[in-house]
Every structure is written in structure tokens, then in C-alpha cells.
Amino acid sequence: MVVASLFLVYKTFIVGVTYDDLCLSHIFLLEEPKVEGRYICSACDATIHDIAKLINEKYPEYKIPTKFKNIPDQLELVRFSSKKITDLGFQFMYNLEDMYTGAIDTCRDKGLLPKPAEKGLLTN
């Protein structure tokens, strides 16, 4: 899995898809005879709060803030529908958790993020 993700950020909303899914969707559409028009390739939709919660649950040692200046606690999720491509039979391989887990684990392995035992990140 290529762990880098492609993100379109609009204020506090993130639409994500991995490079793997993006490339596979292009191949799928090139091979699909019923293709017509444009397609949205979005494996997941999330708010900044969803992502903070996900990272805090999986990686509590990083202590990601959950309150953000000038951003309301309750945000209505903006959805980008991939129904057109999934109705043709395309299935995304990775979800939001997969994307962030892959990215964070890769950053740890490359030394870009400290591992829990480094720099006092152990939670006691």
C-alpha cells in the first residue's frame, strides 16, 4: 500500500483517497465499457474533529487537540459522493483509519514522528 494520501481540504473538511485507490479507480474506469462523464473518487469524508478523534484513539501519545480556534465543535459533514463509480462495481481498498494509520506508521518508521518510547511520549 502506498501510504501517502491525496487530500482536498476545504476549511475543516477532508476528502481522502489513497494513491492505490486513485490509481485502481483510473484503471477500473479505463477498462469499464459503461463509463460516461466524470467520476468522484473519494473513499471517505471527515471533519477535522473526526480526524483528531481517530488519531487520539489510535495514538493517544501524540495528544492531538480536539478544540480548534474559530471552528465550531459541531460541524455538518460535507459529502462527495462516489456512488457513480461504486455503482459500476468499484470498491475502495482503504478507509480513513487505514490512511492515517499508514501515514503515521510510515512517519514513525522514517523518523519523522517520534515513537512512543522516544522523547517521553509514554503515557503513564
| Structural domain includes residue 118 | no
Predicted pLDDT at 84: 94
Predicted pLDDT at 49: 86
| Structural domain includes residue 44 | yes
Length of the chain: 124
Q: How far apart are CA 40 and CA 8, in angstroms?
A: 12
| Structural domain includes residue 119 | no
Predicted pLDDT at 42: 87
Distances (CA, A) of 62 to 11, 95, 109: 23, 21, 16
> Mind listing the pLDDT tens digit of every residue in the chain (124 residues)?
343 444 444 455 677 788 899 999 999 999 999 999 999 888 888 888 888 999 999 999 999 898 888 777 777 777 778 999 999 999 999 999 999 999 999 999 999 999 887 655 555 4
The parent domain of residue 67 ranges over 5-109
Q: Please tell me the total count of domains within the chain.
A: 1
| Structural domain includes residue 45 | yes
| Structural domain includes residue 91 | yes
| Structural domain includes residue 76 | yes
For the beta sheet containing 5-10, the strands, ordered from the edge strand earlier in sequence to the opposite edge, are: 5-10, 13-18, 44-47
Number of Cβ within 10 Å of residue 62's Cβ equals 13
Predicted pLDDT at 11: 55
Predicted pLDDT at 36: 92
Q: Look-up: residue for cell 484503471?
A: 27
